[in-house]
Every structure is written in structure tokens, then in C-alpha cells.
Amino acid sequence: MSSAAPALVGMAAFALARSTLLPGLGLWDTGEFQVVGPVLGTAHPTGYPSYVLLGWLASLLLAPAGEPALRMNLLSAITLGVSAGLTVVLVRRLTGRASVAIAAGLLLALTPIPWRVGSFADPHMLHLALVAGLLVLLVGWEARTRSGRAGADRWLVGAAALYGVALGNQGLTVLLAPGIALFVLAVEPGVWGRPAQLGRCALALVGIAGLVYLELPIRAVMGAPIVYGHPDTLAGFWYVVLGLQFGGSLTAPFSDLAGKAGDIVGLAAAQFGPLVALVPAGLVVTAVRRPRYALLTGTWLVVTCWFAVSYTNADIERYYLGPILIAISWLAVGAGGVLDAVEAQLLIEHDEAGLRPAALRLVASAGLALALVGPAIIAAPTTRLRVDQSANTRAADWSRWTFQVAEPDAVLVTWWGFSTPLWYRQVILGDRPDVRVIDDRTRLDKSLGSVDDVIRANLGIRPVYLVRLDRDMPGLELRWQVEVLPDPNGTQPLLRVVGPRAADRGPGTMAP
């Protein structure tokens, strides 16, 4: 395979994501990552320090591309390209087939979830690239170990170091540990008798992860403008790193397993179309031809999918990026097995059409590669419509309008989905420094009490506006008179607190 193939596939994947890229500011976590990265802050649990550090670097290197929000979006497109390129390298090592490897890399880029997540700022795309890198290193270590080639140990140490980077990026990395342990033992059962090698791996893993996570307390102590929680204290650090805020999100993990399996099959069908029926066959072929790789990836897929389908939180589709890569690699190994069988048959039978076996092998290779990526290419126009963010300016329009409407020295009592673009405008663009944005997390970190407490503390002193979920409004409207300021773009209205209703008048409030 030409050494240029991974780079070419990576550039094609980048071009796909670039064509659907969010042009600027986003809502929810996207807005948070667009502000935290450029200022080296602390994101929500687990802090994502690897992504934050890379985002800070990218915000510097990509400065000519546009404002920081766009640069962070471009980082996702770049990491999708890296993931696709590494998939080419991985599949080439697994199958020895250049055409199949190229098709697998393109298939990854054209699959809906990777394509979508590659179109806006998000650390899960970096997680996919790191998972692909881990697979390349582990498969390389296996090949060198089993062939007795020199330098095998360095590949395992490299994998441990990369695992440390991945651990600093996404807590899902913990779910990969059982599969790696089983794989290492399957490749080298006597590894436990090599304490020096295990020590080097442990030092690389813990050392890299520890250095990466130091970003949280250091930047908190330095007064970074956006810091989630209190990572400058020991309790606060572990609260962020361990994601204790989401401790109750894993619900009934062992109940309705059949139903959960059905949900995963449905999601897989939406990603792979008709190819989904071939994934089990691809696993069987992989188990026969690359049993240790099947053990590694099969464990990863089962554990990650079980966790994701049992985890109740926002946009869990992103958690399936790793399993999507694994399923594609199984399909590719299956395709490689079919090609090997075809070539073996060609060596036995004569070609009645007069074509040389080499020509038939080329036709078969190209045909099977096209069959692998063809359905995704056919579906690409529809997929593009589903994932396209290129015309999405909701966050930029809404946050600009909100700061135009808000009176001087206003207090905005907001929730996460809409707090983040306001922070971006203040911290990155320098807009409206007189406005105080009080997110629900701000209330907790600064002990400000409930939404009602914040309103009472400020009403009559500063103008107070609310941005709340619909479920919060019935209770608030019983206690406060509000004026609805409709967003001209229909994204989210702004509610101006006029005063308390009679039953809620108290110290520090004004009568309407």
C-alpha cells in the first residue's frame, strides 16, 4: 500500500467534515469546549484535560482560519481525518489489503455518527482517534512479539502512554482496560513474569495521565476564566476527574438486556445500512483469522455498548464511536478473508475468459472494496442532510440578541444549554462584561442558593432575566411576574423578572 493512502483518506474525511462544519458558536457542551479550550480552563467532568490542552494548541495554530469557535470545530474535523487515516493503517496490518483498508477508512468517515461529531467541537472525536491509535500500536506489538522482532516492548510502552493520553481525554477509556489486559495475556502469557516491562508500561500510563490532569488544579489556581467545580482542592479535583456529578446516570444496567441489545442493533442498522447483517460474519472471520484482536475488540465493544445503553444522559450516540470503528474493522477482516479465498481459487482454476489471474485479483479486490464502502457512498447525500451544521447559526444569533436586549448590569439566570454561548461571548469576544451570567452550576459552586434566591438577591438592585427549561417555569411563574421577550429567531425566549407576586414579597425585592 502506498504510504500516501492514510493521508489521502484522512484528507478526504476532513473534507467531508469541513463541508458540514458548524460555522461558529454552538449551544450546550459545544459552546463550553469552544471557550474552555482557547483559555485552558476546566470543562465539566471529567475535565477533558487532554482535549483542552490540544484545543489550546489548535486555537493557536489555526488562528488564520477564523475565530476560536471555528478553530475548535476544525479540530474535530481534523481528528476525524486522523481517525480515518489510522483506520487505513490498522486494516492494512490486519488484512494486508490496501483496497480494503482504504474502503474501511472512507466508511468510517461516511458513517453518520462519526461524520456528525466531526462537524462540531467535541472531545469524543479525539477519543475515536486515540482508540484507533491504540489499536494500531497493540496490533503492531502483537505482530512483533509473535515474530520475535526487536523493539516489541517499545510498542507496548507506547500503547500505555497513549492510553494515558486517552484517559486524560475521556472517562470511557476506563472501559477499554479489561480488553487490553485480556489481549496482552493472550499475546504474551508470561508477561507477568517481566516486572521491568510492566513497570515501564505503568510508569508511561500513570506518568502521562498524571501530567495531563495537572492542568486542572494548575489552571484553577492561576485563575482561568472558565473553571468547572473546584479542581484546586483535593475533593473538588476528584469530584471532576471521577465524574461524581453523574454517579446516578448508570441506571438498571442488568435489566432488560434483550431490549438493550435490540436498541444497539437498531442503532447499528442506522449506521451501516445493509452491511449491518454482515457484522456478525465479520466477527466470526476475525475470531478465526485474528483471534487475539477479536478478543480485544469484542471485549471493548460489549463493555462500551453495555455501558452506553445503560447510561442516561445527553447525546449518548457519541459513546458509540469506538464500537463503530471496531465493527468496521471486523467487516474489513471479513472482506480480506473473502479476497484470500478468491485468490486461492484463482490459483487452482484456469481463467476461461482469457484474463490473467493477476487481473482477476485486481478486479475482485476493487469490487469487494466498493461493496464495503458503496452503501455508505450511496447514502452520503442523505447522511449529509442529517449531519449538516454548516448553516447552523442559532447559538451565535441567540447569544448576540440576548446581549443586545439585556439592560446594563443585568443578571442572567440561565441553564447549561444556553449559558455556554454567553460565556463564550464574554470570555472570548469580550462582549458585555457588565452582565453577570449565573448558570445552575455557578449557583452550586458559589453557594448562591436556588433560582428564587438569586432573583431575590438581585431584584431591585440589578435587572434580572431568566433563561429556563419549560419544566421550571410553572413554579417560577407562581412566585414571580415575568415579561416574555420572544427571540426573533425562535430559539429561546428571554424572561425579564418584573417583580414578585404578592405571596412572595420579601426583603430586597420591589413591588411590581
* pLDDT tens readout for residues 485-505: 999 988 999 999 999 886 555
User: Domain span at residue 245?
Assistant: 5-387
Query: In which band, very low, low, confident or very high, does the pLDDT at 357 lie, cut at 50, 70 and 90?
Result: low
Contact 457, 482 (CB under 8 A): no
- Residue carrying the nine cell digits 486522523: 82
Domain C-terminal end among 387, 418, 444: 387
In-domain check, residue 509: no
Residues 367 and 452 placed together within one structural domain of the fold: no
Residues 60 and 129 placed together within one structural domain of the fold: yes
pLDDT score for 346: 63
Residues 433 and 493 placed together within one structural domain of the fold: yes
pLDDT tens track for 187-243: 999 888 889 999 999 999 999 999 999 999 999 999 999 999 899 999 999 999 988
Mean pLDDT across the chain, nearest whole number? 90
Residues 375 and 429 placed together within one structural domain of the fold: no
In-domain check, residue 364: yes
Order of strands, edge to edge, in the sheet holding 464-466?
A: 436-438, 411-413, 464-466, 494-500, 480-485
Contacts of 432 (CB under 8 A, 6+ apart): 403, 406, 425, 426
In-domain check, residue 172: yes
- The structural domain count of the chain equals 2
Residues 430 and 499 placed together within one structural domain of the fold: yes
Q: What percent of the chain has pLDDT over 90?
A: 71
pLDDT score for 511: 32
In-domain check, residue 238: yes
pLDDT tens track for 451-467: 999 999 999 899 999 99
The amino acid at 117 = V
Residues 149 and 117 placed together within one structural domain of the fold: yes
Domain C-terminal end among 325, 359, 387: 387
Residues 333 and 409 placed together within one structural domain of the fold: no
Residues 437 and 331 placed together within one structural domain of the fold: no
pLDDT score for 356: 60
Determine the average pLDDT of the residues in 347-376.
Answer: 72
Residues 287 and 211 placed together within one structural domain of the fold: yes
Contact 342, 286 (CB under 8 A): no
Residues 311 and 431 placed together within one structural domain of the fold: no
pLDDT score for 502: 67
pLDDT score for 102: 95
> How far apart are alpha carbons 388 and 384 in whole angstroms?
6
Determine the average pLDDT of the residues in 97-123.
Answer: 95
pTM passes above 0.85:
yes
Q: Closest Cα partner for 412 from 382, 432, 390?
A: 432
DSSP 324-380: HHHHHHHHHHHHHHHHHHHHHHHHHS--TTS--HHHHHHHHHHHHHHHHHHHHHHHH
Q: What are phi and psi of 394, to 5 degrees?
A: -55, -50
In-domain check, residue 289: yes
Query: 362 pLDDT exceeds 70?
Result: yes
Residues 409 and 381 placed together within one structural domain of the fold: no
Query: In which band, very low, low, confident or very high, does the pLDDT at 146 lie, cut at 50, 70 and 90?
Result: confident
The amino acid at 265 = V
pLDDT tens track for 392-411: 999 999 999 999 999 999 99
pLDDT tens track for 52-79: 999 999 999 999 999 999 999 999 999 9
Residues 143 and 103 placed together within one structural domain of the fold: yes
Query: In which band, very low, low, confident or very high, does the pLDDT at 477 lie, cut at 50, 70 and 90?
Result: confident
Domain C-terminal end among 387, 402, 420: 387
pLDDT tens track for 252-278: 777 878 888 888 999 999 999 999 999
In-domain check, residue 510: no
In-domain check, residue 40: yes
In-domain check, residue 224: yes
